[in-house]
Amino acid sequence: MPTGGGGNIVVLMGADSAAAITRDDHSDEVTALSAQYGRIPKSVPVRLAKRTSNLFRFRSPSRAPGLDVSGLDRVISVDPDSRTADVQGMVTYENLVDATLPYGLMPLVVPQLKTITLGGAVAGLGIESSSFRNGLPHESVREMEILTGDGRVVLARPDNEHAELFRGFPNSYGSLGYALRLVIELEPVTPYVRLRHVRFDGVADCVATLERIWRTGTFEGSRIDFVDGTVFDATSVYLTLATLVTEAPEPSDYTGRHIYYRSIRQRAIDHLHIRDYLWRWDTDWFWCSRALGAQHPLVRPFWPRRYLRSDVYRRLVALDRRFGLSERIARRLGRPPHEPVIQDVEIPLDGLEEFLEFFHRDIGISPVWLCPVRLRDPEGWPLYPMDPRTHYVNVGFWSSVPLAPGQHSSSHNRAIESKVTELDGHKSLYSTSFYDEDEFWRLYNRPAYRRLKERYDAHSRLPGLYDKCVRGT
């Protein structure tokens, strides 16, 4: 909550702190972090020590020194007049939203899960239902303070001597440096959101509707502020079209016994508080909490509400991966091995129908999430080279697929990667990738990355992008 400040800039309490943080406090923390970085032997690779992670590249515990950035997790200030926030890199979107909503403001894009950090969303990409008009989270960043691999702290802006780093930082996944502080744009919101769940019998009509919404910003005469979609099967496709409103009937509550994604097929019209709308997917990790039993009607009433959240589920999955419990149970029951298929891919709108036909036929995961996106910035971003002139749809799918006898443990993931490339799409790197090195660098701009690596981490103290995202080092 606000504690006061000079002029129209409001200084905020840290979410877990008894005192407000100032720019001077932040500078002292950066000085201490730089000293900590300097004490790590230059021959030893560095990793980031974070309290939470939303990556799905599970690795064995590392012995490499962990750079402790856990203290850089607060909102420094919000300026409601300029609609900007000055925040530390490790602030979670949950705490960031709690700081901005009291002023009727939100970040231009709020990724779906509460513990995604702002720095992580910028270095590793993020997306949500405002992306059809606001692009990706890094496109609302005005400046970034970055600890580079060579130990410098630089201020990167789109128009200064570090402009190439500013543009190359998105999709670098901590292989060039770490964001310590960012200034981001905000936009106004109202207390409520009106949702309309529109059903289509196939993908073609859904694509045509998205084209009209992009062209007009409306659907059947109503302004559209947020768009995402859910594919339950090939003939049950929904777009959720949402509009900010100042008044609403009794809003729904999907933070306890009721489950949001099931409501999509049950209610044509719905209303949510703005905060509940932003976190509508977090309570059940989209639909993935069902694999952990959290949606079972005999379990749900006894699952504490405070543990109905994505970071709890991810920790459970990480423990399962670490000890192989599910695999051992499956083997004892005589079930075939399964391949984890946890991906988000951007597909050009005109290729969406073909991609989903392939996906239903060869992969078979459901539901599938859709999120339309168009870049705001006409210059583009070199390490994730989406075409600013093209409309894309993010397709998200997170489950596992049984392997037939003789299939390789990456068969389905490789098939998806090949299809995405065939359709001129792009694959997010938060999950495991299987590209060979030459193929990877054809897709993710080796020349631009190499220039940045040589300028900001010439001695490779930080793992390279391919090593980190494919080899898992």
Which residues are within 8 A (CB) of 371 and not within 5 positions of it... i.e. 6 or more apart?
127, 128, 129, 131, 132, 227, 228, 229, 393, 394, 396
Q: How long a stretch of residues is the chain? A: 473
Shared domain check, 162 and 15:
yes
For residue 382, is it within any domain?
A: yes
The residue range of the domain holding 423 is: 324-434
pLDDT at residue 206 in the model: 98
Section 340-347 average pLDDT: 95
- Residue 304 resides in a domain: no
6 compared with 203, residue with greater pLDDT: 203
Which CATH number fits the domain that encloses residue 124?
3.30.465.10
CATH of residue 386:
3.30.70
346-371 b/e (C-beta count within 10 Å ≥ 16 → b) = bbbbebbeebbebbbeebebbbbbbb
The pLDDT value given to residue 329 = 76
Distance CA 253, CA 250 (A): 9
What is the pLDDT confidence band of residue 121, given thresholds at 50, 70 and 90? very high
Q: How confident is the model at residue 16 (pLDDT cuts 50, 70, 90)?
A: very low
- Residue 398 or 11, more confident: 398
Percent of the residues in the chain that have a pLDDT greater than 70, as a whole number: 92
b (16+ CB within 10 A) / e for 440-452: bbebbbbebbeeb
Q: What is the DSSP letter of 462?
A: S
Least Cα distance to 109 among 34, 8, 184, 12 occurs for 184
State the Cα–Cα distance between residues 14 and 10, nearest whole angstrom.
13
Number of domains in the chain: 2
Q: What is the pTM of this model?
A: 0.92
Q: How confident is the model at residue 4 (pLDDT cuts 50, 70, 90)?
A: very low
* Bigger pLDDT: 395 vs 45: 395
Rounded Cα–Cα distance for residues 51 and 90 (Å):
10
328 shares a domain with 182: no
Instruction: Report if residue 114 sits inside a domain.
Output: yes
- Mean pLDDT along residues 164-189: 97
When pLDDT is cut at 50, 70 and 90, the band that residue 288 belongs to is: very high
Tell which wins on pLDDT, 154 or 59: 154
Which residues make beta-bridge pairs with 87?
75, 182
198 in a structural domain = no
Q: What is the pLDDT of residue 381?
A: 97
Q: How confident is the model at residue 66 (pLDDT cuts 50, 70, 90)?
A: confident
pLDDT for 128: 98
Put residue 206 in one of left, alpha, beta given phi > 0 → left and psi -120 to 50 → alpha: alpha
The pLDDT-based confidence of 91 (bands split at 50, 70, 90) is very high
Percentage of the chain lying above the pLDDT 90 cut: 80
The average pLDDT across 103-127 equals: 96
Structural domain includes residue 287: no
- pLDDT exceeds cutoff 90 at 127: yes
Final residue of a domain: which of 188, 211, 238?
188
Give domain status of residue 332, yes or no. yes
Tens of pLDDT along 186-204? 999 999 999 999 999 999 9
pLDDT at 15: 41
Q: Considering 143, 158, 188, which residue would you say is the last residue of a domain?
A: 188
Q: Mean pLDDT across the chain, nearest whole number?
A: 91
What is the pLDDT at residue 67? 86
Q: Is residue 257 part of a domain?
A: no
- The residue from 188, 212, 237 where one domain ends is 188
Residue 152 corresponds to which tokens in the numbers above?
């410098």
Q: Give residue 63's pLDDT.
A: 60
What number is the average pLDDT over the span 349-373?
Answer: 97
Does residue 274 lie within any of the structural domains?
no
Domain co-membership, 183 together with 328: no
